[in-house]
Amino acid sequence: KQEVTQIPAALSVPEGENLVLNCSFTDSAIYNLQWFRQDPGKGLTSLLLIQSSQREQTSGRLNASLDKSSGRSTLYIAASQPGDSATYLCAGGGPTGTASKLTFGTGTRLQVTL
Amino acid sequence: DVKVTQSSRYLVKRTGEKVFLECVQDMDHENMFWYRQDPGLGLRLIYFSYDVKMKEKGDIPEGYSVSREKKERFSLILESASTNQTSMYLCASSGWDSYNSPLHFGNGTRLTVT
């Protein structure tokens, strides 16, 4: 059974700093690895999806990488801003019938301070 | 943009009541999901559906059922609500291509069972 771990559970950085969030998974037979952002009391917003055949994806100041052999993914945020403060979750997608069934980590709560 | 709409943001119900949580998506997505989110436990999959009238159990289906009579609508039913079902419930949808289709979430329904 897939298990997804995110360490640390919380992180505080000053504005402008570049940072890396970590995600590890136990089963390398994943279809994709997705990163989400969740603001307090809200649903999740999809940030990036990396297919199992890819090594990274980029969107603006965000870059996500995937290393299946080591069971790790990272989310790199460049030049962090206070508006980046949120909880970031990663999820590994595995095959179940015709739908992709995601296993989620418990998230890293990021605070970017002025 | 994909829009996933959950009918209620907050619900308070009594133990033993039958509870219906409704979710509608507007992107003609084949796959729809119900998760619950609890502190320290992360998101756990309750049920998912990959087509009209099709459903599969997720990791924690006990005490829940679902209905998908139309492609755009996926309902979660708590047959007899209990206090341990107090949680944040999140609906999500994705397209037919499990490799490439990110998950899109609604804003959640915070259910309290007293």
pLDDT single digits (tens) A27-68: 888 888 999 999 998 999 999 999 888 999 999 999 999 999
Q: How many CA atoms lie within 13 A of B111 on its CB side?
A: 30
Report chain B residues whose CB lies below 8 A from the CB of A107. 42
Task: Say yes or no: B71 contacts chain A, CB-CB below 8 A.
Answer: no
| DSSP-based three-state secondary structure for A53 | coil
Indicate the residue of B40, B43, B99 with minimum beta-carbon distance to A31.
B99
Q: Among candidates A64, A109, A95, A89, which has minimal Cα distance to A2? A: A95
Find all residues with CB under 8 Å of B68, minimum gap 6, and list them. Answer: B32, B49, B51, B52, B53, B54, B55, B74, B75
Among chain B residues, CA nearest to A30: B99
pLDDT of A99 strictly over 60 = no
Nearest-neighbour CA in chain B from A44: distance (Å): 6
Which residue stretches of chain B have pLDDT < 50?
none
CA distance B8 to B20: 10
Q: How many angstroms separate the Cα of A95 from the Cα of each of A47, A79, A107? A: 21, 36, 22
